Amino acid sequence: MSGTTTSDAGRASEAGGALGWDDDAATAAGVDRWVVANLATLYQQAEDAVMRFEARQAEAGRDIPRSAWGKIGVRVRRQQSPAATPGAFVIEWVRYRFTAPTAAGRRCQTVYIQRGTGDRYPRSAFRNLARPWQTPLVMEAEEALGRIRALTRQIAQVRTQLRAAERAKRDFYASLCADTPATEPWD
């Protein structure tokens, strides 16, 4: 095959295939399915934890006028960014803020409460927002939600690390191919 050249990408693919790395697409697809399935389960767990919190709060506050309740809530929402891990979601505590009355009535807006670093909200994040009777309920819910956030982050990191390893491997083989002659040795 005199004069035949092989592209760097082709040689990189051949080298990767010789090492048993030719099923990267299947591996990535399998990891993606695993990530999506686990995040779906965790999303449901988060929704259930929020419902338990709301039910416990309603039970504990049934004899307390609504005007004496704190202006705090928790929500679970899916991440919509195209760069987000498929199935990713966030669990965040919010403060309710009501607008001045208008002809259409009062509107309720939610303001995100800063979490800071880590997977859990500190008790201080709820200072001046939750009433004393609500604080234990909030902290109990946050214990479960913090564990869900931590596991969600770890699962998303699996996908991120696989993608980083694929890029590093691709770059490695491209650099190997750049160092070798473009023609076959028997030319």
25: left (phi over 0), alpha (psi -120 to 50) or beta: alpha
The structure tokens listed for 27 are: 């591996």
pLDDT digits (tens, 9 = 90+) for 13-35: 555 555 555 577 788 889 999 99
Q: Could you give the C-alpha distances from 71 to 93, 113, 131, 167, in angstroms and in order?
A: 11, 11, 9, 46
Residue 3: per-residue pLDDT:
46
- How many domains does the chain fold into? 1
Residue 18: per-residue pLDDT:
54
Identify the residue with better confidence: 79 or 2: 79
Residue 156: per-residue pLDDT:
93
In a domain, 15, yes or no: no
pLDDT more than 90, % of the chain: 50
Q: Which pLDDT band holds residue 1 (cuts at 50, 70, 90)?
A: very low
In a domain, 64, yes or no: yes
Asked which of 80-84, 103-107, 120-124, 148-152 is least confident by mean pLDDT, the reply is 103-107
The answer to whether 60 and 137 are in contact (CB under 8 A) is yes
Residue whose token pair is 């009355």:
101
pLDDT of 4 > 50? The answer is: no
pLDDT of 7 > 60? The answer is: no
In a domain, 107, yes or no: yes
Which residue segment(s) compose the domain that 160 sits in? 24-178
Q: Which pLDDT band holds residue 184 (cuts at 50, 70, 90)?
A: low
Residue 2: per-residue pLDDT:
45
In a domain, 41, yes or no: yes
- How far is it, in rounded angstroms, from Cα 62 to Cα 58? 6
The chain-wide mean pLDDT, for the chain, equals: 84
The answer to whether 4 and 183 are in contact (CB under 8 A) is yes
pLDDT digits (tens, 9 = 90+) for 57-71: 999 999 998 888 888
- How far is it, in rounded angstroms, from Cα 123 to Cα 139? 7
- How far is it, in rounded angstroms, from Cα 101 to Cα 14? 69
Please, is 141 exposed, middle or buried when counting C-beta atoms within 10 Å of its C-beta (0-12, 13-18, 19+)?
A: buried
In a domain, 130, yes or no: yes
In a domain, 91, yes or no: yes
Closest CA to 20 of 179, 169, 186: 169
Q: For residues 130-157, give the mean pLDDT.
A: 96
In a domain, 144, yes or no: yes
In a domain, 70, yes or no: yes
